[in-house]
Structure 1
Amino acid sequence: MTRQSVTCDRSRTIQSKIVLPPDTNYLGNVFGGKVLAFIDEVAAIAAMRHCGSMVVTASIDSVDFLTPVREGDIITLEAFVTWTGRTSMEVYCKVLNEDIRTGVQEVTTTSFLTMVAIDENGKPIQVPAVIPTTEEEEEIYRTAPNRHQKRRERKKNSFS
């Protein structure tokens, strides 16, 4: 069976949310776990759009928080599928925070996630390949096999 191919735009997903008091710690900054939940959600939507089926999260690469997100800020997440294996998809997610008073936006974090497409019985299924069309997409696509190998090594060396 020949695998179809689709562009990154098919999966591109953008979500914006306002950071509310329940989302923040005692310093008024968003909880890191809340940002991770937002990332997981937008990445899953992007992966589902790419493959046309349900997905599960297999891994989230390291997440470094570069700038704080404060109560009242707008947080915008952009995700798209960057590379695929047979049943897995690498999804890139960029998170921006925006001070609504000034309009200044900063990158809060970026992350790569691995999602696996599944059928109605929870079994992995084949996914379409990716066609990068922009310079950013091409660079991320070109470097994906190296990240994939590092994930495999990390998984092999995990404690169980």
Structure 2
Amino acid sequence: MTNYKSVDKSRITISELMLPSHSNFSGKIHGGYILSLMDQIAFACASKHSKMYCVTASVDTVDFLNPIEVGELVTMKASVNFAGRTSMVVGIRVEAENIQSGVMKHCNSSYFTMVAKTKEGISVEVPGLILNDNTEVKRYLKALKRIETKKSGQAEFNHEDFSHQHYLEQLEGYKVKIELPENHN
């Protein structure tokens, strides 16, 4: 019998001051550092929901919208947006605040698929979700749509009859030159 937990039960927020040691060569906070923090909060959120050790299965839609400056306070908010049989989609919002002016900016939103595991590495069932407001319902539906789109694309491109020849005309108008040998397959 599946148990259920509300989204609020596993919601997590973390904040961290960005230091010069976190910056890249252009003086902005390194994207890899932000991704590492995002992976940590995704792990914590998924583990809190499932009460199990969790691993990252995939990361979808990582768009860096605004740079983060040294000295800004970065806040990450994570919640379980979708629960499957053994996996969860954790939505993460990254905001940076200039602590002197109070100006906030949205820097990133991303989706981490996490899988609950035993100590032996066996995937285990996770609790279902109780959705308490319209935002949670929308997030669940969007996660479901992203999963369906991903599966559909994988099925199409992994099908035994797949041929790139059927797609070549779609490349017209793109910045690509195709110079295949005469006997290409």
TM-score band (shorter)? Answer: over 0.9
Contact 1:83–1:90 at 8 Å: present in 2 too? Answer: yes
Write the deviation string for residues 110-149 of structure 1: whole angstroms up to 9, x where unpaired. Answer: 0011000001101000000011212221110122211112
Question: Is residue 105 of structure 2 the alignment partner of residue 83 of structure 1?
Answer: no
Question: Is residue 62 of structure 2 the alignment partner of residue 63 of structure 1?
Answer: yes
Q: Which has the higher strand share?
A: 1
Contact 1:82–1:132 at 8 Å: present in 2 too? Answer: no
> Normalized against structure 2, the TM-score is what?
0.81
Which protein has greater RCO, CA pairs closer than 8 Å, 6+ apart? 1
Tell me the CA shift for residue 153 of structure 1.
4.2
Q: Which moved more, 1:18-27 or 1:107-116?
A: 18-27
Number of residues of Structure 1 aligned to a counterpart in Structure 2: 157
Partners of 2:40 and 2:70 lie apart in 1 by 20
Compare CA radii of gyration and give the structure with the larger one. Answer: 2
What is aligned with 1:93? 92
Partners of 1:65 and 1:25 lie apart in 2 by 14
For structure 1, the 5+ residue unaligned runs are none
Q: Give the residue type in structure 2 aligned to 1:84.
A: A
Give the SS at the match of 2:102. Answer: coil
Tell me the CA shift for residue 154 of structure 1.
5.4
Aligned-residue sequence identity (percent) comes to 34
Shift >2 Å, 4+ stretches: 150-158
Q: 1:50 to 1:155 in 2, by over 3 A?
A: farther
C-alpha RMSD of the superposition? 1.4
Partners of 2:144 and 2:118 lie apart in 1 by 25
What is aligned with 2:50? 51
What is aligned with 1:72? 71
1:1-160 matches, within 5 Å, as: 2-153=1-152, 157=157
> Normalized against structure 1, the TM-score is what?
0.93
Q: Give the residue type in structure 2 aligned to 1:65.
A: F
Q: Which moved more, 1:35-44 or 1:131-140?
A: 131-140
Tell me the CA shift for residue 151 of structure 1.
3.1
Give the SS at the match of 1:44. Answer: helix
For structure 2, the 5+ residue unaligned runs are 159-185
